[in-house]
Amino acid sequence: MWSRRRPVTLAGQFLLLQLAVLLAVLAVASVVSVRQSEDDFRDTRGVFLRRGAERLAGTQNVRDELSEPPVSITLASYAEAERRHLDADSVYLADPEGRVLSGTNRPAVGTRVDLSDSTVLDLRAWTGDVDDRGRNSIATHVPVLSDRGDLIGIVVVTEEYPSLAARARAVLPDLVGFLGLGLLLGVAGSWLLSRLIRRRTRGLEPTEIAALADQREALLHSLREGVVAVSPEGIITVISDSAREVLGLPATREGERVDRLELDPTVRDALTGTTEAHDDALVVGGRVLVLNRSRVVYDGRHVGTVTTLRDRTELLALESELTARQGITDTLRAQTHEFQNQLHTISGLIQLEEYDDVTAFVSGLTRRRAAISDAVTARVADPAVAALAIAKVSLAAERGVELRLGEDSALPRLDPELSGDVGTVLGNLVDNAVDATVTAGGDRVDVRLVEEDGAVIVEVADGGAGVPDDVADAIFRRGYSTKPADPADSGAGRGVGLALVRVVSERRGGSVSVRNDRDHDRGAVFTVRLPAGRTRP
């Protein structure tokens, strides 16, 4: 059974193509060289033959013979001597009408020389191509003049053009040397080119390259995550359909510079960054994107970055809702525990038949609950935010932390969208503040809610150890947490609260910051500014 022949590699195809081109060039050069040798023969031999004819035409005996016909046999000997001297084919002596009188070829005597293209009748020498008895020859016509300057005869010298084989043999030595050197250099260059192509294509063949291109296009069109590859020069080399959609760049193509795109400076810096980035949050056109950036290194060289963009707008809404529900669950749990203790107390007083104490105990609970509600609702008019603040007071109290609302707090009723964002921010900041306060052994968390210059300011100060300066930015990154690891926790939900706070604030075009306040016996102070207008478009 015949074995399947191995296909020629891409580098081999280039090598064969280069060799074919070189051979074609060499063939053309050979033809040109042979044709050039014909021109050289015409120019060189034409001048030489003309000089011989002029010498013969100027011989006194020849002039005397032609001036007094009939000519003698000695005239043929002069012609033969000149033919041998010139190494020509034929030498003729003709009268002014072109009839051959004598020459080296006896059969030609009496025939006429074709003078149609010649200028010899105008007393000027002429050299050109003629048909000499069926042979393509070069001929020269020189007039023979009398002492008075009259035309008395014509000297005709002819020589047949050498054959193609003879001309090829004449130029062959030089041609072989030069063409051989050219072929050798061409083969060496083609071999080097084939190696370069093999190295640049990573040894891949055309079918493999085409398959990779098809797979690349299929992946780029099918990936739900946005993918953007940027070269070290800031040029987009790959961009997927999803990336165009989430970045709002429908007409962007490979080869464009990132700094020329209509992008927010933050997004532009994120795409052109050269360091690794993991789960960074960006807000683009009202979308919340999670960005991951990886450096691409080949053969020890940095060749670019690949950035993936995941649209987490819906997930953010779910996280916000889950946070709210988790807060409600924790609050209900705390209140359930508190109510159980209070019910046990009431039940014991009833069993002891201390009815007056029961009445006093219930009244005290009612006054305390009413005092908490009144203290919050007197400063917070928004029902949802007020309810959350009241619940957080109970939750903090269960952990031994007093949650205080600032005396200057004043928050009006908000639109539902802003109210939900304020609740998300407040809930996450209070939870983190209570955790930090409990960890540090503190007992107080201060909350300030105000509306200033068209924006809601949420300020939460804990009683913890504060935030080190070197992690002031890192704490807002998703997945970063200062809490000690819990073996029972997979870590999937750690480092979400502050990242969610930053994303919500940036989505509304606001800001979030943190500072330490040691002068007032407080730990970290988180300040969030949420513009009262709609979220950024």
SS3 assignment, position 326: helix
> Which pTM value belongs to this model?
0.47
Contact (CB, 8 A) for 500 and 512: no
pLDDT exceeds cutoff 90 at 458: yes
- Give the percent of the chain with pLDDT over 70: 74
Q: How many CB atoms lie within 10 A of CB 381?
A: 13
Q: What is the mean pLDDT of residues 225-247?
A: 81
222: left (phi over 0), alpha (psi -120 to 50) or beta: alpha
SS3 assignment, position 535: coil
pLDDT of residue 236: 84
Inside any domain, residue 189? no
- Check whether residue 416 and residue 501 sit in a common domain: yes
We report the CATH number of the domain holding residue 291 as 3.30.450.20
pLDDT of residue 129: 83
The structure tokens listed for 322 are 């889950």
- Check whether residue 16 and residue 128 sit in a common domain: yes
Higher pLDDT, 307 or 215: 307
Q: Model confidence at 529, in pLDDT bands (50, 70, 90)?
A: very high
pLDDT of residue 454: 86
Lowest mean pLDDT among 114-123, 137-146, 467-476: 467-476
Q: Which domain holds residue 284?
A: 223-311
**Is the preceding omega at residue 70 within 30 degrees of 0, hence cis?**
yes
pLDDT of residue 319: 61
Inside any domain, residue 161? yes
Structural domain total, the chain: 3
- Check whether residue 112 and residue 23 sit in a common domain: yes
SS3 assignment, position 98: coil
Inside any domain, residue 256? yes
Inside any domain, residue 171? no
- Check whether residue 350 and residue 295 sit in a common domain: no
Q: What is the mean pLDDT of residues 330-346?
A: 66
pLDDT of residue 63: 86
Inside any domain, residue 59? yes
- Check whether residue 134 and residue 280 sit in a common domain: no
User: 377-408 pLDDT, tens per residue?
Assistant: 888 888 888 888 888 887 888 788 888 888 88
- Check whether residue 128 and residue 266 sit in a common domain: no
Inside any domain, residue 374? yes
SS3 assignment, position 483: coil
Q: Model confidence at 7, in pLDDT bands (50, 70, 90)?
A: low
User: 173-211 pLDDT, tens per residue?
Assistant: 666 676 677 677 767 777 787 777 777 776 666 676 767
User: 124-176 pLDDT, tens per residue?
Assistant: 999 888 877 777 888 899 999 988 888 889 999 988 877 766 666 666 666 66
- Check whether residue 426 and residue 307 sit in a common domain: no
- Check whether residue 232 and residue 331 sit in a common domain: no
How far is residue 231's CA from residue 244's CA, in Å, rounded to a whole number?
17
Q: What is the mean pLDDT of residues 502-517?
A: 84
pLDDT of residue 456: 92
Inside any domain, residue 186? no
- Check whether residue 301 and residue 327 sit in a common domain: no
- Check whether residue 352 and residue 463 sit in a common domain: yes
- The residue among 257, 291, 311 that closes a domain is 311
- The residue among 166, 184, 207 that closes a domain is 166
Inside any domain, residue 211? no
pLDDT of residue 449: 93
pLDDT exceeds cutoff 80 at 372: no
Q: Model confidence at 243, in pLDDT bands (50, 70, 90)?
A: confident
- The residue among 277, 311, 345 that closes a domain is 311
- Check whether residue 505 and residue 386 sit in a common domain: yes
Q: Model confidence at 457, in pLDDT bands (50, 70, 90)?
A: very high
pLDDT exceeds cutoff 60 at 224: yes
We report the CATH number of the domain holding residue 320 as 3.30.565.10
Higher pLDDT, 309 or 497: 309
- Check whether residue 61 and residue 142 sit in a common domain: yes
Q: Model confidence at 460, in pLDDT bands (50, 70, 90)?
A: very high
pLDDT of residue 142: 92
Phi, psi torsion values for 141, nearest 5 degrees? -115, 125
